[in-house]
A and B are shown apart, each in its own frame.
Chain A
Amino acid sequence: MSRFSKGKRLPGAEFTWDADPGGVPDTAPTPLYPAYTVPWTRKLSSKEQKEVDHYRHHRERDQEGPHYSVLDSSSSSAKKGTAARVNFDPFTGMPSYAGRYQKKRRTLPHIDPTGGPYEFIMKYFPRELWQTIQPSFRPDVDMDGYKPMAGGAGMKRGFEDDEDDGDDETKKKRANGEGDEEGDGDEEGDLLDEEEGQEEWEEENDFEDDEDEMGGDYNAEQYFDGGDDDYGDDDGGDGGGEDVL
């Protein structure tokens, strides 16, 4: 008591924070949100505004064009277990009357050499894509005296592709059959086997494509398919009910 009665300051008082209001001791934690001047962008000049307008116009044209295509349109009829099915939005995803005004997205670029705005000049595309541009084109018929190369080169190709196939299969096993297509390896085999097999392969491919196309639409058959699946769950629920009763 007596020690502090002489008007002396408390021990450690020389370190008090009152002497320097607003000062921060050396050991104080660093502020969580330090003062920070938020940078502001300049306003757009008229030139920039015009550039942006041009850019947007050009982009919009590309987006409206026949080549704009998205990967998966999520729908209720998508394959079971796929991402599209899982991400399906039950509230707004169901087709409705007003939906016909909604912007529709292609899942495949529309290649139309005659009707569309694009002009496809065949010689600028690799030969293996010619049939995509013009479905009437037959790869085994020579055009303009150009003959498809065959013979000695085929050997090399066959060897290369065998290797590829093996690779594919092993990788697929590793990926645990995650691939979206079952016939992957087989098709490749077909493609690589013989030139003559190409047509058959195309047909096969067409079939597959039909499947794909249907994937984008409402599919009544699969509607009940889904129901089958749910049945199992219902069963379990019923069982529970029985227990209660």
Chain B
Amino acid sequence: MMMSQHAVELCTLLIEDHFGELFARIFTTLQRYERLSLPRLKFYSRLTDRQLRHGLTAMIQHHLVYYFTSLEDNNTYYESNPHAAYYLVRSGKILNLVEDRLGEYAARVMEAILFLGHTSVSHLETLPELQSLTPTVPNGVANDNEELQEDEMDAEDQPGKTNGDHAPEGKPAPFHATIKALASHGYLMRVRDAHFQSPGDNLLEAQRTVSSRSDIKALKGKRQQETVASEIQELVHNRTHADLSQELMVNGLPRGIKRKFGHNFNGLENGVGEHQMTHEEIHWPEDGDGSDNTPMESGLVVRVNYEKLDVALRNARFVTLAEQDAPPATAEVYDCLLRHVEYATFRCRDTDEIPREREEGEQWTVPIDAERILGDIDPCLDLSGAFAPLESSSQSVNRGGKRPLENGVNGDHEGSDDESSGPNRVWEVNQHLQLLSQPPHNLTSCVELYGVPKWRVGFRGLARKLRHLELERMIESRYGDVAIRVIRVLHAKGKLDEKRLQEISLLPFKDLRQTLASMQSGGFVDLQEVPKDAQRQPSKTIFLWYYDPDRVCSSILEDTYKAMSRTLQRIKVERGRLKDFLEKTERSDVKGHEEEYLTEEELELLQRWKDKEALLLAEVARLDDMVAVFRDY
């Protein structure tokens, strides 16, 4: 895969940061010379044979290198995998997401899988750090841990264990339940042989296989081409298909969802606790009969499914977008809708590249009705507080009058209220989703199926919207609000000459010209000359301004890669300045006993260094958000 200079630089820095210089050297060599056999690689990289063999083995383990053994000459060729290298930077986000959704133990399992590259379930089970539920290094508040454990326990393995008391030490970790939860969410996938070959090789191999088949050869002309194309697609799909979520879903929902019920309202244990139980029983019959912690297929080899995690991260991004101009309750409802959508979405888009502006059709997700969403919403969540009291029907007046008082946290009231408010809550959920479907973002859209309103999301349009918002944010911060107005006009109207642009945007000529000139030098807008005669005299030429979001996106993406790699280099420089001190803190006797061995000033220095590094890493993470918007969503 050809990549730009800065992207390669970034990947190399990431690999170096995680795995050291040897990997980085092999990676850059492969990146520079594309695919190489071992002797060639040895020649170009100037490494010893042993270094190369060990390095390549370890890199294949981490999926940083693809290989392909040709059947014709029996040579093995190696190729770099920049995709996997880039995703090293997203590991923090991925782990945080998993922790949010499935609890701390699941995050630890995930981290182990990230660390191992790929691994069989049976091997993973034997890892010492995954044996107990409590982390080996206590890093959280005790109370928080307790809550998490309780949560996991009641979600996953209540009936299997005879002792009902919550003794965290004696409890073996719900390893299989967690693995199943991760797999059924789609965050893990099965490792197939084809995953070790680059996508291009897979395609070529499939082509070769298909075209050598006798029944294909018998076909002629256009028909043959069509059959070959579809067969190739099918073969590639069969070879790389690795989804685990479908077979592990229960009633179309993944297992072990971490419920938010009762988290915020600790005072409501009596009423809501009961309610929560019944809810779980309704929705989770499989959990009830203890079949959950049965071991997974032990020979199964799993790895992290980055495609699916991108979907989850994208949904989180849309929820923050919703939070910006909708009440928190609405954002919560939206979050639940997106969860349901996520279970049925396997990747962010079907095409490899982001299609060009205005050439992309909308793809709608599966429609989901409000009742299913309601099942996931925290019953204590006040859905009605965001709306003005209704005055149309008599019942609504009644409820409307009462509503502002109702949001007091009052357990038994809620409990008794629940039955009667069933359909009403559905109506409220619909109202919230209706609110989200409004412009400017159109976060949802409604379809009526058999008279029931169902909700769906048009991700392609929303992803485009995200890109535009990101660009506008950037333009505004660089060139001010005049520029943003000009850009919006140009985007809406297409190519315009200066006079027309001025008329539409209602800006003084001076401002307009200044902004346009500075934006042109920044590469955001461009000028097209249309000569009226063959001489191309400037007086007889029409100059048209235009704004091409695709072009701007790709150049910004490159800038972002560059900024990321500069930030990582900065961390290296800052580290180099404190090298001796940091080496001291990393000594095997000092590490873990910092308070004991370091002086007060040194501790302070260490803390300052950690804060500084955190700031820079967070900056990289923010830039990575932009990369995700421009490249992945």
Partner-B contacts on A (CB < 8 A): 41, 44, 47-59, 61-63, 65, 67-71, 92, 101-103, 105-111, 117-121, 123-129, 132-133, 148-149, 153, 156-157, 160-161, 164, 168, 171, 179-181, 184, 187-188, 191-192, 205, 208-209, 212
Choose from A54, A65, A149 the contact partner of B91 (Cβ within 8 Å).
A54
**Is the beta-carbon distance between B96 and A54 smaller than 8 angstroms?**
yes
Q: Which of A56, A117, A124, A191 has the most CB of B within 10 A?
A: A124
**Is the beta-carbon distance between A70 and B58 smaller than 8 angstroms?**
no
Q: Which residues of A contact B62 (CB under 8 A)?
A: 67
**Is the beta-carbon distance between A103 and B586 smaller than 8 angstroms?**
yes
**Is the beta-carbon distance between A58 and B91 smaller than 8 angstroms?**
yes
**Is the beta-carbon distance between A51 and B618 smaller than 8 angstroms?**
yes
**Is the beta-carbon distance between B115 and A65 smaller than 8 angstroms?**
yes
Given contacts A67-B62, A69-B21, contact A132 B57 (CB under 8 A): yes
Q: Judge if B470 is at the interface, Cβ distance under 8 Å.
A: no
Q: Which residues of A contact B57 (CB under 8 A)?
A: 109, 111, 120, 125, 129, 132-133
Additional pairs, 11, CB under 8 Å, beyond known A41-B618, A55-B617, A62-B19: A48-B618, A52-B614, A54-B96, A55-B95, A55-B621, A58-B91, A71-B20, A118-B61, A118-B119, A121-B118, A121-B120
Choose from B20, B92, B622 the contact partner of A55 (Cβ within 8 Å).
B92
**Is the beta-carbon distance between A164 and B39 smaller than 8 angstroms?**
yes
Q: Which of A54, A110, A120, A180 has the most CB of B within 10 A?
A: A54
**Is the beta-carbon distance between B21 and A108 smaller than 8 angstroms?**
no
B107's nearest neighbour on chain A, judged by CB, is A54
Q: Judge if B492 is at the interface, Cβ distance under 8 Å.
A: no
**Is the beta-carbon distance between B39 and A69 smaller than 8 angstroms?**
no
Q: Judge if B356 is at the interface, Cβ distance under 8 Å.
A: no
**Is the beta-carbon distance between A123 and B50 smaller than 8 angstroms?**
no
**Is the beta-carbon distance between B56 and A70 smaller than 8 angstroms?**
no
B50's nearest neighbour on chain A, judged by CB, is A209
Given contacts A157-B74, A164-B40, contact A102 B583 (CB under 8 A): yes
Q: Which residues of B contact A47 (CB under 8 A)?
A: 96
A54 to B76, CA, bound (A): 36
**Is the beta-carbon distance between A59 and B614 smaller than 8 angstroms?**
no
A191 to B136, CA, bound (A): 48
Q: Which residues of B contact A62 (CB under 8 A)?
A: 18-19, 115
**Is the beta-carbon distance between A125 and B53 smaller than 8 angstroms?**
no
Q: Which residues of A contact B76 (CB under 8 A)?
A: 126-128
Q: Which residues of B contact A44 (CB under 8 A)?
A: 614-615, 618
A36 to chain B, nearest CB (A): 14
Choose from B119, B191, B621 the contact partner of A51 (Cβ within 8 Å).
B621
**Is the beta-carbon distance between B55 and A41 smaller than 8 angstroms?**
no
**Is the beta-carbon distance between A68 and B193 smaller than 8 angstroms?**
no
Q: Judge if B366 is at the interface, Cβ distance under 8 Å.
A: no
A51 to B53, CA, bound (A): 34
A160 to B70, CA, bound (A): 14
Q: Judge if B72 is at the interface, Cβ distance under 8 Å.
A: yes
Choose from B116, B588, B614 the contact partner of A117 (Cβ within 8 Å).
B116
A71 to B25, CA, bound (A): 9
Choose from B50, B91, B123, B586 the contact partner of A119 (Cβ within 8 Å).
B123
Q: Which residues of A contact B196 (CB under 8 A)?
A: 124
- Sampled A-B contacts (24; CB under 8 Å): A51-B93, A52-B614, A54-B99, A56-B92, A56-B614, A58-B91, A58-B92, A59-B18, A67-B58, A71-B25, A92-B580, A101-B587, A101-B588, A102-B587, A107-B22, A108-B51, A111-B54, A117-B115, A117-B116, A119-B123, A126-B67, A132-B53, A184-B43, A205-B50
**Is the beta-carbon distance between B74 and A149 smaller than 8 angstroms?**
yes
A39's nearest neighbour on chain B, judged by CB, is B477
B47 to chain A, nearest CB (A): 8
Given contacts A52-B614, A58-B95, contact A157 B39 (CB under 8 A): no
**Is the beta-carbon distance between A61 and B115 smaller than 8 angstroms?**
yes
Choose from B19, B53, B73, B120 the contact partner of A67 (Cβ within 8 Å).
B19
Q: Which residues of A contact B617 (CB under 8 A)?
A: 52, 55-56
Interface residues of B in 585-606 (CB under 8 A from A): 586-590
B128's nearest neighbour on chain A, judged by CB, is A117
Instruction: Return the CB mask of B72-103 against A: 1 if under 8 Å, else 0.
Output: 11111000000000000101110110010000
A47 to B107, CA, bound (A): 15
Choose from B20, B42, B587 the contact partner of A70 (Cβ within 8 Å).
B20
Q: Judge if B633 is at the interface, Cβ distance under 8 Å.
A: no
A51 to chain B, nearest CB (A): 4
A165 to chain B, nearest CB (A): 9
A176 to chain B, nearest CB (A): 14
A109 to B53, CA, bound (A): 10
Q: Which residues of A contact B301 (CB under 8 A)?
A: 121, 124
A129 to B92, CA, bound (A): 32
**Is the beta-carbon distance between A124 and B72 smaller than 8 angstroms?**
no
A181's nearest neighbour on chain B, judged by CB, is B48
Interface residues of B in 384-401 (CB under 8 A from A): none
**Is the beta-carbon distance between A153 and B72 smaller than 8 angstroms?**
yes
Q: Which residues of A contact B193 (CB under 8 A)?
A: 123-124
Q: Which residues of A contact B360 (CB under 8 A)?
A: none
Choose from A54, A120, A191, A212 the contact partner of B48 (Cβ within 8 Å).
A212
**Is the beta-carbon distance between A41 and B615 smaller than 8 angstroms?**
yes
A70 to B99, CA, bound (A): 32
A59 to B20, CA, bound (A): 11
Q: Judge if B362 is at the interface, Cβ distance under 8 Å.
A: no
A57 to B120, CA, bound (A): 23
**Is the beta-carbon distance between B96 and A51 smaller than 8 angstroms?**
yes
Interface residues of B in 8-43 (CB under 8 A from A): 17-23, 25, 38-40, 42-43
**Is the beta-carbon distance between A109 and B22 smaller than 8 angstroms?**
yes
**Is the beta-carbon distance between B120 and A119 smaller than 8 angstroms?**
yes
**Is the beta-carbon distance between A54 and B92 smaller than 8 angstroms?**
yes
Q: Judge if B529 is at the interface, Cβ distance under 8 Å.
A: no
Given contacts A48-B618, A119-B119, contact A58 B48 (CB under 8 A): no
A120 to B619, CA, bound (A): 35
Q: Judge if B513 is at the interface, Cβ distance under 8 Å.
A: no
A129's nearest neighbour on chain B, judged by CB, is B57
Q: Which residues of A contact B118 (CB under 8 A)?
A: 121, 124
A212's nearest neighbour on chain B, judged by CB, is B48
B303 to chain A, nearest CB (A): 10
Q: Which residues of B contact A118 (CB under 8 A)?
A: 61, 116-117, 119
Given contacts A55-B621, A148-B74, contact A69 B48 (CB under 8 A): no
A123's nearest neighbour on chain B, judged by CB, is B193
